[in-house]
Chain A
C-alpha cells in the first residue's frame, strides 16, 4: 500500500508547497509511490489519516503549537519542509527585535489583537522532527530524493558540508575574489552593486562557508551571493567566518545583519548549548 502523505502550513509564504506543486508532470510520478491526502494548494480533500506529514512555516502561536502536536500525533514520520519549519527561517529575523514594536509596525492599531509569541520557532522547538528539507524555497530534486528515500525506508542523504563544496565543483570564481578582488584590499571597503537592483552593499559577503550545501550553489552560479537560506551546517566555524568577513571590510553589525536573515533561530539555539 502506498504511504499517505499530508502537507500542512504554519507561519510562512507556502512557497515550499508551491515548489512541490511546480513539479507538474513529475507530481504524477510522485503519485505512483505515495497517496496525497492533504495538500490545500492542489486538492480540496482533507484527512487526518496519514503516514508522512510535511509541515511548512515557523511556529509562532499557541494555536500553531497545538496543531503541530496534533499532526505529530497522527503522523509516523514528520518532515520539516523548507527553512521556516526546519530552521526558523526569515520569520525569526524578529526574534532579536522588540516584539511590541514589531507588532505595531506590522499591524498598527490592531497590534493588541495579535497573539503571536515573541519569537518565531522552528518545528523541532515544539515536537520531534524526523527529517529536514532545507532551503528558501526548497529544491525540487531534494524533495523528491527525500520522499523516495522515505518510501524505501532509507535515510535521506542531505549534505553536512558547506555550500563552498558545490561552488568549487562548479568552478565558480569565489564571491570574495570577484572583480579582481584579493585579500590585499582588506583595509579598503568595497561597494558591491546588488545584481538586479539599485542597492549597493558594503561587500563582498557570502554565507556559503557556513551554510549547508544541497542547493548546487545556485545563487552564486547566477552571479549573486549565498544568503544562507539552508541554514548553518551542523558545526559551523562562525569565528573563522566572521574573521573572513572582517578581513573583507564588513563591520560586526553588518555581519550580524547578514546572519540574522536566516540564522536567527539557529543562533539562539546554539547560544543555549
Chain B
C-alpha cells in the first residue's frame, strides 16, 4: 500500500488531464446527482459521491455505437471500432465487481472486440465509498469493498489517500505521480481499517436474505404468477432499471441508411428486457408480452440465470434501479425479502 497527499493527488490528476494522451474522466456533480464525465480540472472531481446516475459501463459499451460502415453501391463493409483510451477516476467497489462480471460476458463464446478493446485501453481508478446511497445494499451483496477489478484503489483517510495497486497498468499510472507517492505507515493502515469498519455501518439494514440463497429462491418463485403480477402492477415498462444497471448489457442492432441509400452504418444501442418490444420476433410474436413476465425475467436474470452460467449473482447492490424507478417497484431488496419470507 502507498499514500499520496490530497494536494499532490490533485496536481497528479491535473497533470494527467494536461499531459496524458488518454481522456481523463471522473465523477462530477450533476444538479443534485452525480455522473462520470470528462474531467476538466481536479477541482471538479467528487470522490465523496454516493452513486452515479449511470454506471461506468457506458465507457466500454456506449449507449449508441457504430459497429460497421457499409457502401451498398460498392457492396463494401468496413468494421468500425472507435476506441477512446481512458483513465476513469472514482469507481466504487460494486461497479468494479460489475465490470469484472461484464468482462466475462463479453469474452464468453464470442469475443466482443468493441467492448474488450475499450476495456483493455482503460485504466480503472477505484475509490472506497465514503458516502453510501440510501438504496445501496452492497454490503449484503458482498461488494462494499473489493480486492480485485481495479488498476489502483484509493481510500480517503483525511488529508491523504491510501493507494492499493492492482495491476501493472495501475503501477505505471502511479509512476507519473513520481515522488509524491510514499510508502504507507502503520498509522495509515489503521485508518484504512477504521474506514472500512465505519463503512460497514452505513448500509441499509433491511435485507433479510443471503445472496447465495437467490438462485434457489428464484427457482421456487418462477411459477408463482400472482407474485410477479402483483409486484409489477405499477411497472411503466420504461426500462430505467435495465439502463442504469451496471450488469445489464443487452443491445439492439439496426442498420441506419444514409438518405442517399448508398451508404449507411450498423449501430448498436442499449436495450432492456423490461421494454415491451424486447422479446418481439418476426411474425408479431412476443415471448414476454405481459409486464409481469418481463419483470420476472429481470430478477431471474440477476439472481439465477447469470449465476448458472458464470457463477455470479448479477446484482451488485448499487441501488440504482431502486433509486431511479419512479413507481418505486424495482427494489431488489423488497422482492428478495418477500421471497425469503415466503410471501406469495
Please give the residue numbers on chain A whose beta carbons come within 8 Å of chain B beta carbons, in ascending order.
26, 29-30, 32-33, 144-145, 147-148, 151-152, 157, 160-162, 164-165, 168-174, 176-181, 183, 208-210, 233-235, 237, 239-241, 243-244
Secondary structure of the B side of the interface?
Answer: loop
Beyond A29-B259, A165-B275, is A177–B237 a contact (Cβ under 8 Å)? no
Q: Shortest Cβ distance from B160 into chain A, in angstroms? A: 31
Which has the most chain A C-beta neighbours within 10 Å: B30, B236, B260, B270?
A: B236
Cβ A33 vs Cβ B235 within 8 A: no
User: Is the CB–CB distance between A26 and B236 below 8 Å?
Assistant: no
Residues of A within 8 A of B30 (CB): 171, 173
Q: Give B159-170 as 1s and 0s: 1 = Cβ < 8 Å from A's Cβ atoms.
A: 000000000000
Q: Given A148-B259, A165-B238, A241-B236, are A171 and B53 neighbors across the interface (CB < 8 Å)?
A: yes
Q: Evaluate contact between B234 and A164: CB separation under 8 angstroms.
A: no
Name the contact of A161 in the complex, choosing from B33, B64, B239 (C-beta under 8 A).
Answer: B239
Q: Would you list 21 pairs from A and B whose C-beta atoms are within 8 A, ordered by A residue?
A: A26-B259, A30-B259, A33-B259, A33-B260, A151-B261, A162-B238, A165-B239, A168-B239, A169-B64, A170-B63, A171-B35, A171-B54, A172-B53, A179-B32, A180-B32, A233-B237, A235-B237, A237-B234, A237-B235, A237-B236, A240-B235
Task: Report if B333 contacts A (CB, 8 A).
Answer: no
Q: Which of B222-271 contact A (CB under 8 A)?
A: 233-240, 243-244, 254, 256-257, 259-261, 269-270
Contact indicator A32/B32 (Cβ below 8 Å): no
CB-CB nearest in chain B for A32 = B260
Residues of A contacting B234 with CB < 8 Å? 237, 239-240, 243
Residues of chain B with a CB closer than 8 A to A180's CB: 31-32
Please measure, in the bound complex, the distance between the C-alpha atom of A207 and the C-alpha atom of B275, giving whole angstroms. Answer: 17
| Chain A, Cβ-Cβ closest to B239 | A165
| B43-51, B97-105, B321-329 - interface stretch | B321-329
Which among A26, A148, A151, A179 has the greatest number of chain B C-beta atoms within 10 A?
Answer: A148
CB distance from B140 to the nearest CB of A (A): 22
Distance A179 CA – B261 CA, assembled complex (angstroms): 45
Query: B272 interface residue, CB < 8 Å from A?
Result: yes
Is there contact, CB below 8 Å, between B259 and A164? Answer: no
A135 to chain B, nearest CB (A): 18
Q: Least Cβ distance of B130 to chain A in Å?
A: 19
CA distance A179 to B32 in the complex (A): 6
* A240, B231: Cα distance in complex, Å: 12
